[in-house]
Structure 1
């Protein structure tokens, strides 16, 4: 008797006769809570009672599946593998082309990987058809959606290379509007790779394909790339896979709103003295807010607030503290610092609700040492989160400051490695620039004449946390964007030092950080 793949041993199955395969498949389908079939390169199709047949025809096993939009008919050759929730088969497609088809139980978590892989292969084939229609006469010399960790290529976005004479296209497709935010980072990495592999005399262009519901975010970003370094084209495709080129300049204005009010912080002498004592303690920082309040944090954890001259104490539920009892605030701060301390100065999750605490701690440290980060920046006012806009999933801390000459300075903070840091920072920079051109930020800096010059962009984080691909992405930014990466020492929690300073797409000559400096490097 032929042997099935055994879920515990992983042994390959042997071919079996059609009658036996029919019995095994029917048994598997009956055992499924939500049976479905997946042919790799196509979409998953549920196996509904009156929308599929599994039968013998002239001694051969056939499966037919249909729904309102498509149908599938395949001859099953062998059962290749039987695991929990998955039954893999080899099949004949039309014309005798071999293929792979899997029966799945969609209710089983084990089928998630197979479903995702099949969905990505399906979109990859749809992308191939779009390229054939859009670029007749071009050769698709490469098309893949495989993950490549070494080159930071994502499996989410199928990528292709097309060639025609001395011309070459690097193409990337976005499967859904939800994935658009990550598209441009991987597109620039793919373009850089393709451009570096061909003959020097070949010209290269970048073509991006996005769903018809998407494109505005990408279009706004494309306007701020270096047009001398790369030529870009944007295409939108519909649910049928029909694509058409669009002009990025025709896809609407930026979605952005600036905070309409700014109330400078006003403190009485007792509270001012309290803040001076608190900020002298390692790990304690104060962050003024646009509404005139002050957030007081210990290692990134807000434990007190000042609002309209009143002091509130507590992490979750806050209670008001009378000015005569301000010593309680200092005692509370000392307890939190002690509770969350280890020998390296790292944060312990002591049940205090520490989500994002490391980023907030780093923000307080940068605010306290802003002139080390950039000597031209004024220490006050420094604003956080002055803009609101939709369409992106941001996980950065944004600060907006001003230089002594009146030039706006954007400070983007990130404590962990993030391949999307440059593009996410670009989203904020282009909006600040848009508001600057319209004179809509002057109220945030009373008494300071803003110059109207293009804002400066600082990417600030621990020096060891900058992703190697960040420099590649920055290489394609418009020369108009004055961007600088500022690396902080790994022990910034104890002593804050600048150890790395790179302009634009520069890369460090050495990754050694032993020669640390506390000012400009």
Structure 2
């Protein structure tokens, strides 16, 4: 395969693989959610450069093959003649189907033993990992029932070999399993609530979410199961004082823009209408319709003096801008401008990348298009609100014209987790609002913030709102004033609300 074809194959595959992992000789070498890469095809050679805080490698790519969402590469280390293998896998769970099935079957039996021992007065029934696509149930979760007379609890568990994302998603499917069984019983049996079983040390995010469910609608209980010794520990999720989150100080945009004025001017000459986002006091991002294509940042030199550099590329692809590659940046921008258009080629990776950021770039122009109560003159996008459970980024944080805080969570595609993700961000904003921290951290200066609880807006294209959304919203605590906003499917041409549904 010619070097030009290899470069294009790598670029196209990696453009749609932002969370992929890179394996060299079978071992994980890089996680592209945190690592960077660059590709060059100079002098008839395709070179792949990968780096992270832990390692740095350069490989010459000789052959490339895509199979089952895996890009298999024959590569050559610099200075060596013998080829080796490199695999880039979009699927983070690298177990074989038979290994997954065996682990899930073993966990099902283990969960049964624990339930029979720990809940002696109950009968364990209907434990299963069978597929039920109509209700969105897959084989990852073991679901079943605990029965005692006319009283029943829904049970859902997940084993420690599943990804953390699957573990964090367990509560969503637990709620749906509880509701599905209630609907099937039609009142003949009292289905009291849900018992959720998670691996030891993994329940933090699920506990945060469970704290904000409706306690009059069901009894909610969460347990951590130690699979080695089959120990069981109930986790207290009722005490909301345990839900700690950390807010970062707001960077002064004016100071940062002045510091990077030269770099901003240089990029703006190429893209006058680019979006400029201040990421920190030491870094500024440049975006085109939500697609980040460059950053200006402070770089350390050997003399320990800070200098500015501009890096460009899409996703984890990154190169330092220099005189010999300005043409490459210009070419990237020409392609992005042509493709990243409401009527652009829908199947191209540049068109499909970061749809939420594209939607966000339109919403922040006039957030009152989502709801007329919202104040377009005061808002922040991608607000970091970290907790012990994860590092969350709130899509849009704004206020109403009366000063009431509002969280806007955006989805461009169907996502079953929209309601509980919205609850995550709402709970963190509420934590800081109750402690009057936003203005102390540099947000909404000059505004008088209301003492009323924050509002939550869940926004998605009307035909891409998951069918389970209404069910999940039914079980959210009534203290959360939420609004589900369905927008026109052609939102890239302009955000237009089709319907609003309120709590």
TM-score range relative to shorter protein: 0.5 to 0.7
**Alignment partner of 1:228 out of 201, 216, 237:** 216
> Are the structure 2 counterparts of residues 174 and 441 from structure 1 closer, same or farther at C-alpha, using a change threshold of 3 Å?
same
How many Å separate the matches in 2 of 1:203 and 1:151?
Answer: 21
Shift of 1:144: 0.7
Shift of 1:313: 9.1
Aligned residue runs from structure 1 range 295-444, under 5 A: 295-303=285-293, 315=313, 316-317=318-319, 336-341=336-341, 343-344=343-344, 346=346, 348-349=348-349, 356-379=353-376, 380-392=378-390, 398-442=395-439, 443-444=442-443
**Aligned equivalent of 1:261:** 250
Deviations for 1:130-157, whole angstroms, at most 9, x for unmatched residues? 2212222323331111121110113212
Shift of 1:218: 2.4
Deviations for 1:278-309, whole angstroms, at most 9, x for unmatched residues? 78x7xx6555656598644223223466899x
TM-score, normalised relative to structure 1:
0.64
Shift of 1:249: 4.3
> Are the structure 2 counterparts of residues 398 and 391 from structure 1 closer, same or farther at C-alpha, using a change threshold of 3 Å?
same
- Structure 2, unmatched stretches of 5+, are 1-92, 299-307, 324-328
- Structure 1, unmatched stretches of 5+, are 1-108, 322-328, 505-521
**Aligned equivalent of 2:177:** 190
**Is 2:342–2:492's contact at 8 Å kept on the other side of the alignment?**
no
What's the C-alpha RMSD, in Å, of the aligned pairs?
A: 3.8
How many Å separate the matches in 1 of 2:332 and 2:104?
Answer: 52
How many Å separate the matches in 2 of 1:440 and 1:110?
Answer: 43
> Is the partner of 1:423 in helix, strand or coil?
helix
> Is the partner of 2:215 in helix, strand or coil?
coil
> Are the structure 2 counterparts of residues 258 and 164 from structure 1 closer, same or farther at C-alpha, using a change threshold of 3 Å?
same
Deviations for 1:397-438, whole angstroms, at most 9, x for unmatched residues? 622111111111111112121111211221121111111111
Shift of 1:216: 2.9
**Is 1:290–1:383's contact at 8 Å kept on the other side of the alignment?**
no
**Is 1:485–1:502's contact at 8 Å kept on the other side of the alignment?**
yes
Corresponding position: 1:127 with 2:127 = no
* Larger deviation, residues 474-483 vs 251-260: 251-260
- Is the radius of gyration larger for structure 1 or structure 2? 1
How many Å separate the matches in 1 of 2:197 and 2:152?
Answer: 16
Shift of 1:381: 3.2
**Aligned equivalent of 1:248:** 237
Deviations for 1:34-89, whole angstroms, at most 9, x for unmatched residues? xxxxxxxxxxxxxxxxxxxxxxxxxxxxxxxxxxxxxxxxxxxxxxxxxxxxxxxx
Corresponding position: 1:481 with 2:480 = yes
**Aligned equivalent of 1:172:** 156
> Is the partner of 1:382 in helix, strand or coil?
strand
Shift of 1:376: 1.5
How many Å separate the matches in 1 of 2:96 and 2:320?
Answer: 44
> Is the partner of 2:397 in helix, strand or coil?
strand
> Is the partner of 1:378 in helix, strand or coil?
strand
How many Å separate the matches in 2 of 1:498 and 1:278?
Answer: 30
**Is 1:286–1:364's contact at 8 Å kept on the other side of the alignment?**
no
**Is 1:264–1:292's contact at 8 Å kept on the other side of the alignment?**
no
How many Å separate the matches in 2 of 1:343 and 1:467?
Answer: 25
**Aligned equivalent of 1:163:** 147
Aligned residue runs from structure 1 range 75-94, under 5 A: none
**Aligned equivalent of 1:200:** 187
Corresponding position: 1:149 with 2:133 = yes
Shift of 1:361: 1.4
Shift of 1:252: 7.6
> Is the partner of 2:292 in helix, strand or coil?
strand
How many Å separate the matches in 1 of 2:331 and 2:98?
Answer: 55
> Are the structure 2 counterparts of residues 484 and 210 from structure 1 closer, same or farther at C-alpha, using a change threshold of 3 Å?
same
How many Å separate the matches in 1 of 2:472 and 2:395?
Answer: 20
Shift of 1:207: 1.1
Higher relative contact order (CA 8 A, sep 6+): 2
How many Å separate the matches in 2 of 1:335 and 1:139?
Answer: 62
> Are the structure 2 counterparts of residues 193 and 420 from structure 1 closer, same or farther at C-alpha, using a change threshold of 3 Å?
same
**Is 2:384–2:391's contact at 8 Å kept on the other side of the alignment?**
no
